[in-house]
Amino acid sequence: MSQMTAPRTNARYSPVQLHRNARALHLSHLRWLNFGWIVVLAALLLSLLGIAAIATTEPGYARKQAVLLVLALGSAALVAVPHYRWMRRLSYILLIIGILLLIFVLLPFVPESIVRPRNGARRWINLVVMDMQPSELTKLFYIFALATYLRLRKVHRRLFGLFVPLVLTFVPMALIVVEPDLGTALVFLPTFFAMMVAAGARLRHIALIVLIGMMTAPAMYPILRDHQKERIQALVYQIRGDDRYINDIGYQGYKAMTLVGAGGVTGVGHEHARDLIHYNKLPEEHNDMVFAVIACRWGMLGAVATWALFGLMAIGGLLTAAVCREPFARLVVVGVTAVFLAQMTVNTGMTIGLLPITGMTLPFVSYGGSSLVSAWIMVGVVLNIGLRRERSLMRQEAFEFSDEEDDA
**Mean pLDDT for all residues in the chain:** 83
pLDDT per residue as tens digits for the range 168-216: 999 999 899 888 888 888 899 999 999 999 988 888 888 888 887 777 6
Beta strands in 130-283 (DSSP E): 131-132
Per residue in 92-132, pLDDT tens? 999 999 999 999 988 888 887 788 777 667 888 887 777 78
Q: State pTM to two decimals.
A: 0.85
Distance CA 78, CA 80 (A): 5
B/e letters for 26-52, b = 16+ CB within 10 Å, e = fewer, are eeeeeeeebbbbbbbebbbbbbebbbb
pLDDT in tens, 240-298: 666 666 776 778 888 888 899 999 999 999 999 999 998 888 888 888 899 999 999 99
How far is C-alpha 186 from the geometric centre of its chain's CA atoms? 12
CA atoms within 13 A on the CB side of 236: 6
CB 125 within 8 A of CB 117: no
